[in-house]
A = this chain, B = another copy of it.
Amino acid sequence: MSKLIGSIREAIEACGLKDGMTISFHHHMRNGDYVLNMVLDEIAKMGIKNITVNASSVFDTHAPIIDHIKNGVVTGLECNYMGAKVGKAISEGVMENPVIFRSHGGRPSDMEKGTSHIDVAFVAAPTADNRGNMTGKYGKSACGSMGYAFADAYNADKVVCITDNLVEYPVVGFSIPEVYVDHVVVVDKIGEPSGIVSGTTKITKDPVGLKMAQYAAKVVKASGLLKDGFSFQTGAGGATLAAAKYIKEMMLEDNIKGSFGMGGITKYMVEMLNEGCFKALIDVQCFDLDAVESIKNNPNHMEVSASQYAGVNGSAVNSLDVVLLGATQVDLDFNVNVHTDSNGYIMGGSGGHADTAAGSKLAIIIAPLVRARLPLIVDRVTCITTPGHTVDVVVTQRGIAVNPNRPELKEKLVKAGLPVVEIDELKAIAEKITGVPKPIKLDESKVVAKVLYRDGTVIDTIKKVVTE
């Protein structure tokens, strides 16, 4: 009755993987993940071609995929986020078919609707038993929540569990139960847990960042949402984490008992839980090892699937009061870009950006007005990640713009003495510093990526960068 199989190769064979099929991966090991590369290398060795890879996110550590693309092993790529290394290659046109970008909620929802079909899911499991029960909470490669992997396990035709910590049946506190698993492979290492902490997950010390954070915290307070039952999500950026710190201080001072903190979880959110700011954490992904430790030990720190976090058919994002989000560009219609940098190169993706903006009562963008001598505010973002009608406030160090569709909110912020300005004023201030930037050159005839909104419709496309 054991589902153990000798190697990744044998699992690939047993699943009947063939040219043209789609395989999937989750990204909880983040930049420490070994599994995607291991599986693709094996597939390449077996001579299988024309594979579509649907990975919830692609990090720099996955750069070997570029060679597999060049060799025709991988001809399709779908993800919710893409790091700059692979992003550069895609932006320069390495792949013929456009990348498909989704949001963290759109990905599981598209699988559930059947508009995204997975032939074989390869699930990296920090702990598993020989029947395929898995958890991310234990093991030498513990990653905490396995939220993004649920949809893969539930919906793929075949599911391979790849673990480096096989324990006796049954895994206590399993996340994904055996009923969804076809094969279990034991490998030496599924990844490097230190790589889980990738990107900024520390509070900024930069005075500009701190100023923006203070503004953002004051916006939250002025909105009237900061009261008992308050729910909150923040990303792992330095300024948003600083804002979280200010919000925490206000909550403790006024003895506000919030309901939940959500998202990719950092130690700052764990501290808020432990200090009584929240009743619970809703955790789809752990951003650091403090979060991994907490989800293991604290039953109020709850693992949820991506579908439960941000899916289209009613999910936790719809109960969210406030989300703090970043941006590389914001335009005059409040559309936000987190897919490309100011030169048009892919270096990110929605993740939960579009989902939380749509679901929350108050979506706040925090970003410095000028970055790398380029203005944050532009006439039209290079790529729409999150549509402007779901974005409420843009906070910069030089002023705060409120979406005209929220006049009552604008009034509150003005009343609170916050430096509210129009978005085109912010643009003018920035351009005074930087000058009007030259338009970036893109090859309009070549789409390198399509961005799907959370409902599955195409919200924008990303064009090939013109290299000199």
A301, chain B: closest CB distance, angstroms: 9
Interface 1/0s, chain A 291-320, versus B by CB < 8 A?
A: 000000001101011011001011110110
A64 within 8 Å of B (CB atoms): no
B170 near A280 with CB under 8 A, answer: yes
The CA-CA distance from A169 to B313 in the complex, in Å, is: 17
A440 within 8 Å of B (CB atoms): no
B179 near A131 with CB under 8 A, answer: no
A39, chain B: closest CB distance, angstroms: 23
A34 within 8 Å of B (CB atoms): no
Most chain B beta-carbon contacts within 10 A, residue among A178, A279, A304, A315: A178
The CA-CA distance from A313 to B305 in the complex, in Å, is: 23
The CA-CA distance from A185 to B224 in the complex, in Å, is: 29
A174 within 8 Å of B (CB atoms): yes
A169 near B259 with CB under 8 A, answer: yes
A292, chain B: closest CB distance, angstroms: 16
A458, chain B: closest CB distance, angstroms: 25
A229 within 8 Å of B (CB atoms): yes
A242 within 8 Å of B (CB atoms): no
- Which residues of A are interface residues toward B (Cβ below 8 A)? 1, 3, 131, 168-170, 172-174, 177-179, 229, 231, 259-260, 279-280, 282, 299-300, 302, 304-305, 307-308, 311, 313-316, 318-319
24 residue pairs bridging A and B, Cβ less than 8 Å apart: A1-B314, A1-B318, A1-B319, A131-B314, A131-B316, A131-B319, A168-B229, A168-B279, A169-B231, A169-B259, A169-B319, A170-B279, A170-B302, A170-B319, A172-B279, A172-B302, A173-B302, A174-B302, A177-B304, A177-B305, A178-B314, A179-B305, A179-B308, A179-B311
